Structure 1
Amino acid sequence: MKVVKFGGSSLADAAQFKKVIQIIQADPKRQVVVTSAPGKRFDGDIKVTDLLIKYANATLAGKKNTYAADIFARYQEIGTGFDVDQAVLSDIQAKLVALPNKTYPNSDYLMAAFKAHGERLNAELFAACLNKLGTKARFIDPSEAGILLSDNPNGASILEETYANLAKLKFADEKLVFPGFFGFTKHSDIVTFARGGSDITGSILARGLHASLYENFTDVNAIYAANPKIVKNPIPISKMTFREMRELSYAGFSVFNDEAIIPAIQGQVPINVKNTNSPELPGTLIVPEKALSIKRPVTGITGSNRFAALYLHRYLLNKEVGFTLKILQILYKYGVSYEHMPSGIDDLTIIFDRNQLDDDTIHKMCHDIQITVNPDDMEWIDDYAIIMVVGEGMRARIGTIENIIRPLADHDIAVHMINQGASRISIMLGTRESDADNAIRYIYDNFFKTGKSTVAQLQASVDSPIS
């Protein structure tokens, strides 16, 4: 049995629905379907989720609006294209109209419930379309399946008991259609995941229902060795490991965020990223480490400019007991986590996700650190980017760091930080934000265009397809 997830662009209108239904009907093993909310149909269009957010904000502000009608029009266009029963469309319309009149614990839970209905109503409609075309299907609400999440309305996490609940789910030969992105608390309130919601739902179902494969359909042909917006015509990755995907996602790969695939990893369920518009292409297979036989030196290169850094210098820093603890206590005081903390005998750099910080927090935090540990020198660096070079083959290859650094030195790109993880499958570099894209290009060229890792090596990585 396969779990199949489709993104918002794959389900944006009736024409895309037809493509998705053909994909499902083409393989009887595709039994569990996860839907996103309808995405953009064209440039300048607005996603249904964004309309729902506007609808929620207008409700909170007590403003009259037409958002319910605007959102319903999207579902009506799709349903009309399949001649679904009017009762289905009327139910969708009634649920949209009723949203402002329901009771919510607070405004955050209201926002979560509004957003979740993009996926919820699309899953109901998709099941109705399948049934209309003669494919037996059943809509499964997360409450019915027992998908329980933590009590955090717009940033929830899965509760472990969800998997015991999913093991009890009874089904026969029909297609099961789940909405992605949300679940319920133990108090029966709707809550949503923070990022990559439908991807996370698909991953949870793949683990909980013991799928043989989790197919994630999106709008790209494969995962590439570098961002096509930075590197022209990068090589597609045929096969990669869970660990490689996690490392690359953390630093900027946009196909998955770094948390979305964790349930599938825990269940050891392979993931196949494919294109809805070209489903015949093999896409990229993401597998456990033991299932990858070819160890390339580098699988992928990515970068992100969402980081900032705090540099501290103090002589004999390494001799002072509790120096780092004092800093961590200040971070805890302001509710700030750090990403990395490379250090030397007299120096320490703390790297942060800039998205979690505002200027006021930075000012107060730096003031407290200055007063508490009294560094000889302290500098806040906003112009900071992290580049991640990832590959399982690094562990068995001498000279990888040299081959990463040399092209940067040849082009006068300064490296502010180098860090290799304990797994030895990734090397992290810190550079100026303005140098990041060129750094990625030069590293890519050195590994993929000069013989360090040939196209044949990269693409000859699928030993046998998983069906």
Structure 2
Amino acid sequence: MKVVKFGGSSLADAIQLRKVKAIIEDDLERNYVVVSAPGKGVKNNHKVTDLLAMCHELSVHDLNFNEVYKIIENVFKNIVDDLVLDIDIDKILDDVKREIAKGASYDFVISRGEFISAQVLANYIGYDFVDAKDLIVFNEGVLDLVKSCENIKNILTKHDRAVVPGFYGLDEFGKVHTFSRGGSDVTGSVIASALDAEMYENFTDVSGFLVADPKIVKDSCPIGTITYKELRELSYMGAKVLHEEAIFPLRDKNIPINIKNTNAPHEKGTLIVSKCDYKNKNIVTGISGKKGFTVINLEKVNMNTEKDFFRKLTTVFESNDISIEHMPSSIDSVSVIVSDSYITPKINKVLEELKIYLNVDNISWERDISLIAVVGRGMINEKGVSSRIFTALANKGVNIKMISQGSSEINIIIGVETEDFEKAIEGIYTEFYKEEKNEG
């Protein structure tokens, strides 16, 4: 049995829903389907969730939201009319509209895209509709995985085939609560985990992950297989195809995730697994990065002999509610890397507190730093990886501001000036994938 999730681009209009139906009918093991709200399509230029959020905003300010809601109505009515479905879509839409007017919560309102989408698809493919509010449980704003799995086993298993709306559930007070945006991925993974599915398939508008951002590296190679650890490292540094919380319910049960393309369903996509017994043919599995960091450099002779130095250092950032991203160090110096958004309004205060608390010999800081993650299970015990990275960046004229290797040995983090970000990624990609590039 497989659990399959379809993203917003797969449910945008009748054209896409026909593709979804064909995919489901192509594999009789696809018993349980999780859906997002409709995204942008041929007849709609806006995501339904964004439109619902705007309706809520207008409503809470006692402003007329009918014009925006009309767009939502047209999205679903066009789908129902084009597919000639026997479903009372007018009543469903009117009920939601009435709840918004009565002052429904933000989470309730933005969850209605998935709620309606699931009912439409269930009607179209002849599956049962099961509401996520009866399955997914939140406690103090956090997913209660144990109770959610209990509900899924007790309720969903009574349906041989069902469609479930993603993105939301109920909190401890019986109120609708949502995951963060993209959370339908998590709903699907929880269901797959609870039912011990053979596979969790996640259909989107791309054929899996690419080694590097195609906006930076044209014709970037696809990633055939990637481990959960590798994916976590790449996702943390900005590679976004799957909601990062979707990994956890499946990892311990060794349930693989297959990222596939609704528009090209027979392409292999990317398989995400707990463990991989074979090495990737390339040393590097993927390259990703994020912009917008500040580096604070501190120097102090015999810093390593002060047992409480690092405790005091981290205390300054903790007391200012600033998360530390990385902290490479040497015997007499340490660099603290933090997000610009956190440090910018507090930079002078933090610098002064560091001087007072640590009594450092020298302190400096630098803005406009970008971090790049080079990730690969093939890097373990492979000699010369750092050297190849250095050479590739030097050939591109990129100055390395910092470099740090994780203890797992599957990732190397490099800091560069933001103006060099794109060419740095291009250089690293070319170094490790030049054979594929030349063959292409």
Q: TM-score, normalised by structure 2?
A: 0.92
User: What's the offset of the Cα at 1:96?
Assistant: 2.9
Partner SS for 2:296 = strand
Structure 1, residues 402-436: CA drift from partner, whole Å, max 9, x if none? 11111112232111111111111111111111111
Is the 8 Å Cα contact of residues 13 and 43 (structure 2) preserved in structure 1? no
User: What's the offset of the Cα at 1:351?
Assistant: 2.1
User: What's the offset of the Cα at 1:314?
Assistant: 2.6
Summarize the Cα distance change of 1:97–1:381 in structure 2 as closer, same or farther, 3 Å threshold: farther
Partner SS for 1:279 = coil
Q: Which amino acid aligns with 2:395?
A: D
Partner of 1:256 in structure 2?
Answer: 242
Partner of 2:386 in structure 1?
Answer: 401
User: What's the offset of the Cα at 1:306?
Assistant: 4.1
Q: Which amino acid aligns with 1:13?
A: D
Aligned residue pairs, count: 439
Partner SS for 1:304 = strand
Give distance in 2, aligned partners of 1:52 and 1:258: 24
**Greater mean deviation of Cα atoms: 190-199 or 12-21:** 190-199
Partner SS for 1:259 = helix
2:396 corresponds to 1:411: yes
Give distance in 1, aligned partners of 2:133 and 2:164: 11
Partner of 2:11 in structure 1?
Answer: 11
Is the 8 Å Cα contact of residues 134 and 151 (structure 2) preserved in structure 1? no
Give distance in 2, aligned partners of 1:316 and 1:261: 42
Give distance in 2, aligned partners of 1:119 and 1:445: 41
Give the gaps of 5 or more residues in structure 1: 104-109, 132-136, 457-467
Partner of 2:110 in structure 1?
Answer: 115
**Greater mean deviation of Cα atoms: 29-38 or 219-228:** 219-228
Give distance in 2, aligned partners of 1:151 and 1:397: 45
Give distance in 2, aligned partners of 1:316 and 1:196: 48
Map 1:205-354 to 2 at 5 A. Answer: 205-292=191-278, 294=280, 296-354=282-340
**Aligned pair partner of 1:377 in 356, 362, 367:** 362
Structure 1, residues 264-316: CA drift from partner, whole Å, max 9, x if none? 21321111111100101111111121454546311111111143333222332
User: What's the offset of the Cα at 1:176?
Assistant: 1.4
Give distance in 2, aligned partners of 1:251 and 1:285: 20
Partner of 1:426 in structure 2?
Answer: 411
Summarize the Cα distance change of 1:308–1:264 in structure 2 as closer, same or farther, 3 Å threshold: farther
Give distance in 1, aligned partners of 2:392 and 2:402: 16
Partner of 1:127 in structure 2?
Answer: 122
Give distance in 2, aligned partners of 1:264 and 1:454: 37
Is the 8 Å Cα contact of residues 72 and 96 (structure 1) preserved in structure 2? no
Give distance in 1, aligned partners of 2:32 and 2:410: 33
Partner of 2:430 in structure 1?
Answer: 445
Partner of 2:140 in structure 1?
Answer: 151
User: What's the offset of the Cα at 1:257?
Assistant: 4.1
Q: Which amino acid aligns with 1:39?
A: G
**Aligned pair partner of 1:140 in 106, 127, 130:** 130
User: What's the offset of the Cα at 1:195?
Assistant: 4.1
Summarize the Cα distance change of 1:295–1:64 in structure 2 as closer, same or farther, 3 Å threshold: same
Q: TM-score, normalised by structure 1?
A: 0.87
Map 1:44-63 to 2 at 5 A. Answer: 45-63=45-63
Structure 1, residues 210-244: CA drift from partner, whole Å, max 9, x if none? 11011111111231111111112111121121211
Q: Which amino acid aligns with 1:19?
A: K
Q: Which amino acid aligns with 1:411?
A: K
2:379 corresponds to 1:390: no
Q: Which amino acid aligns with 1:300?
A: G
User: What's the offset of the Cα at 1:126?
Assistant: 1.4
Partner SS for 1:289 = coil
Partner of 1:462 in structure 2?
Answer: none
User: What's the offset of the Cα at 1:365?
Assistant: 3.7
Summarize the Cα distance change of 1:130–1:93 in structure 2 as closer, same or farther, 3 Å threshold: farther
Summarize the Cα distance change of 1:413–1:127 in structure 2 as closer, same or farther, 3 Å threshold: same
Give distance in 2, aligned partners of 1:395 and 1:43: 49
Partner of 2:353 in structure 1?
Answer: 368
Give distance in 2, aligned partners of 1:408 and 1:376: 32
**Greater mean deviation of Cα atoms: 94-103 or 263-272:** 94-103
Map 1:28-43 to 2 at 5 A. Answer: 28-41=28-41
Give distance in 2, aligned partners of 1:207 and 1:364: 47
Partner SS for 2:326 = coil
Summarize the Cα distance change of 1:288–1:455 in structure 2 as closer, same or farther, 3 Å threshold: farther
Is the 8 Å Cα contact of residues 225 and 299 (structure 1) preserved in structure 2? yes
Q: Which amino acid aligns with 2:69?
A: A
Give the gaps of 5 or more residues in structure 2: none
User: What's the offset of the Cα at 1:102?
Assistant: 4.5
